[in-house]
């Protein structure tokens, strides 16, 4: 999530965005989010020019919130929106694994079995016999799936927004391998 503030000076824009971030982090901590689950993602100051003249400075502060389990994520987003108002931007909700190592190992093993089966099928179709493996290369192991959505609280809205549903869905881990086999002597 990020927080935006605009003002005629850099100092005032930073002060306003700092106030919004402080309200947000206070609300999150009050709901049980720990310091370890919060991470600054960046602070950007930009100048907005209109018709060749400086119009304002905008400060944007990025904050990542890591929450386990995700059951209260929607309520936390709504709570932060209520605490900071229109300065909040939620860019995406990213779902993943705490430790995907066991799933990655399983995906690589399955990729090797799949590659061997395909090679044996091709060898049979070509009328040859597979020999030993000459090389094995593996590609990246990557999770896929998850949810993304945007939430921007309209200005002038009153009260806390309804918590958006955060559904875990299905996230999978995939691996790819390239295996080169010799062709056995007949």
Tallying the residues shown for the chain, one arrives at 186
Instruction: Tell whether 63 and 23 lie within a shared domain.
Output: yes
Query: What H or E segment, with its residue span, contains residue 95?
Result: none
Closest alpha carbon to 70 in 89, 95, 100, 52: 95
pLDDT at 184 over 80: yes
Question: b vs e for 47-83, b when ≥16 Cβ sit within 10 Å of the residue's Cβ?
Answer: eeeeeeeeebbbbbbbbebebeeeeebbebbbbbbbb
pLDDT at 183: 92
pLDDT at 159 over 90: no
Instruction: Tell whether 48 and 116 lie within a shared domain.
Output: no
Tens digit of each residue's pLDDT (9 = 90 or more) over 21-53: 999 999 999 999 999 989 999 999 999 888 888
pLDDT at 147: 39
Instruction: Tell whether 62 and 15 lie within a shared domain.
Output: yes
Instruction: Tell whether 131 and 164 lie within a shared domain.
Output: no
121: containing domain? 101-139+177-183
**What's 43's domain CATH number?**
3.30.70.2970
Question: b vs e for 125-145, b when ≥16 Cβ sit within 10 Å of the residue's Cβ?
Answer: eeeeebeeeeeeeeeebebee
pLDDT at 88 over 80: yes
pLDDT at 150 over 50: no
Give the total number of structural domains in the chain: 2
Share above pLDDT 70 across residues of the chain, in percent, rounded to a whole number = 84
* Span 64-82, average pLDDT: 85
Closest alpha carbon to 104 in 171, 181, 169: 171
* Span 142-171, average pLDDT: 54
* Span 113-138, average pLDDT: 93
């Amino acid at each position: 999530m990020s927080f935006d503030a605009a003002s005629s000076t850099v100092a005032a824009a930073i002060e306003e965005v700092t106030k919004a971030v402080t309200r947000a982090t206070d609300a999150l901590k009050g709901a049980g989010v720990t310091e370890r689950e919060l991470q600054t993602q960046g602070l950007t100051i930009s100048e907005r020019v209109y018709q060749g003249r400086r119009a304002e400075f905008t400060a944007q502060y990025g904050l990542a919130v890591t929450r386990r389990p995700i059951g209260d994520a929607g309520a936390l987003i709504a709570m932060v929106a209520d605490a900071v108002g229109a300065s909040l931007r939620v860019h995406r909700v990213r779902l993943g694994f705490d430790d995907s190592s066991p799933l990655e190992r399983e995906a690589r093993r399955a990729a090797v079995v799949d590659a061997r089966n395909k090679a044996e099928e091709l060898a049979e179709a070509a009328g040859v016999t597979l020999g030993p493996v000459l090389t094995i290369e593996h590609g990246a192991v990557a999770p896929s799936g998850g949810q993304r959505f945007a939430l921007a609280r309209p200005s002038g809205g009153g009260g806390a927004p309804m918590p958006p549903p955060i559904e875990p869905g299905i996230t999978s881990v995939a691996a790819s391998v390239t295996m080169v086999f010799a062709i056995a002597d007949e």
